[in-house]
Amino acid sequence: MENLKIKIITGFREEQYYVIDGNEAHKSYYLFMNPNERGVFKNGVALRGQDIQGIEPAWNETMGWNPSHKLNDDDWNEIHSKGIKLKMRELLTEAKRVMPLIEKNKALLQINLSEIIKELPQPKFSDEVKKLSDKFKI
């Protein structure tokens, strides 16, 4: 989750978004799912849940590129080769996965997502799935 950035879209124009640290992705999902709530992120961005139109990866900011840069094939190749796309997918999945915990304990919104994930039980796979996984390891 280190250095991954999330884009919170607040409007329909291209420049209507805020970028937050990936460790606060769970907070953005909470606000999105609870439109009457309000939240303040560590970078000072304050949002109402009803103002969030969407949540997506902030590729340019994650890679350190100019926000106005338009991604091309070489950029996507770099994103894939560095494993950033997979890490981003895992980040967004985990941010959604902690929602039931946050509904029970809103104090978790003040904790980094990476810390919450450490406390989650890891999914258990059946022996058959483990055997398949081992079979196809490179």
Residues 10-19 pLDDT 10s: 999 989 999 9
The structure tokens listed for 116 are: 């919450």
N- to C-terminal Cα separation, the chain: 25
Rounded to whole angstroms, the Cα distance separating 7 from 122 reads 27
Mean of the per-residue pLDDT values of the chain: 91
What confidence score (pLDDT) does residue 134 get?
73
Pairing of strands 38-40, 17-21: unpaired
Q: Which parts of the chain register pLDDT below 70?
A: 1-2, 122-127, 129-130, 137-138
